[in-house]
Amino acid sequence: MIFSLLLFLCLYIISLSIDSTMIKINLLAINQSPRLSHLFGTDWLGRDMLLRTLKGLQLSISIGLVTAVLSTILGVLISFAASIHPSIDKLVTWLIDLFLSLPHLVTLILISFVLGGGFKGGCNWLNINTLAIDCPCAASGNHAATGNAICTDV
């Protein structure tokens, strides 16, 4: 696990050094097979596929980390709000059950329909869907832990 973490960290740091000029269109290098100058080959516009893969990895890791942090923070805040009053606890429990009972695909379709298509809409619905799925999971776990802590303190 530590090796995997170090590998992803190294790849992420390497991908930070890639700028847009390194992934420019080169019509003289269209669809080249893998070789030392292009380890993954080139695409139909002559762009280096290894650099594009590393840049995509950077974006994926960044979105995953931001979403994980946000869903954890929201989950903790929701679980603390539930511990304030029994009626808020019932509402939070109902909302958690509601979100966790929806299938992921249905949630994806509903959010993409509301936010529209295109790249901006696609990124928005992906982030909102991940928060809508992860936040109730985090809130559910934190809610159970908070409830146990409150019960044991009494």
Which amino acid type is present at position 84? Answer: I
**If you search the block for the tokens 């992803």, which residue do you land on?**
8
Q: What was the pLDDT predicted at 51?
A: 92
Count how many domains the chain has. 1
Angle between helices 118-153 and 49-82 (to 10 degrees): 40
Q: What pLDDT was estimated at residue 140?
A: 66
Does this model's pTM top 0.85? no
Can you give the residue range of the structural domain that contains 71? Answer: 2-153
**pLDDT attached to residue 147:** 58
With a cut of 70, list the residues of the chain below it in pLDDT: 112, 116-154
What confidence score (pLDDT) does residue 154 get? 45
Torsion sign across C-alpha atoms 84, 89, 93, 95: negative
Neighbour tally for 64: CB within 10 Å: 11
